[in-house]
Structure 1
Amino acid sequence: MLVIIGLIVAFMLIAVFSNRATRQCRWREYRRGETATWTCVHCGAETVGTPGKPPRTCLRDNSPRGR
């Protein structure tokens, strides 16, 4: 019983604290020297950024598939 309550609490915390702006985004990184090109597998948005740090906002409106 305690395990079930713990799982419910864990899922509620994930739902509350997850970033809703990028919930469906699945970023893939393609490194080029000191910069990286990030591509979202879900919507096709692309952006250039810092290696190892995916975008924190959804760029769906700027993608060819998001329109």
Structure 2
Amino acid sequence: MHIVIGLIIAFVIVAIFARRKRGMRLCRWRADRTGDRGALRKYRCAACGAEAFTASDGPPQGCKSHLPKV
């Protein structure tokens, strides 16, 4: 009986954390070095097609698909 209760609690905890980061896991950023502009690095999302520039190391944080296209 204790095992069943433990599994239910573990499932609920995993579901809460998975739902919390849901918006971020949809985007898969890929570097597009041909579009770099000086210190800005261009990234394109393989999932939604959004494009973003960042000056920091690594890809952008979060989905940018809701932003207007330029």
**Alignment of structure 1 residues 13-24 onto 2, 5 Å:** 13-15=17-19, 17-18=20-21, 20=23, 22-24=24-26
**Alignment of structure 1 residues 1-67 onto 2, 5 Å:** 1=4, 2-15=6-19, 17-18=20-21, 20=23, 22-30=24-32, 34-49=39-54, 50-52=56-58, 54-60=59-65, 61-63=67-69
When you count strand as a share of all residues, which structure comes out higher?
A: 1
Any stretches of 5+ residues in structure 2 without a counterpart? none
Query: TM-score normalized by structure 1?
Result: 0.56
Structure 2 distance, partners of 1:10, 1:57, is 20
When you count helix as a share of all residues, which structure comes out higher?
A: 2
CA contact (8 A) 1:45 1:62 kept: no
Structure 2 distance, partners of 1:13, 1:58, is 18
Any stretches of 5+ residues in structure 1 without a counterpart? none
CA contact (8 A) 2:53 2:60 kept: no
CA contact (8 A) 1:27 1:40 kept: yes
Query: TM-score normalized by structure 2?
Result: 0.54
Instruction: State which structure, 1 or 2, has the greater radius of gyration over its C-alpha atoms.
Output: 2
What is the root-mean-square deviation in Å for CA atoms of aligned residues? 3.0
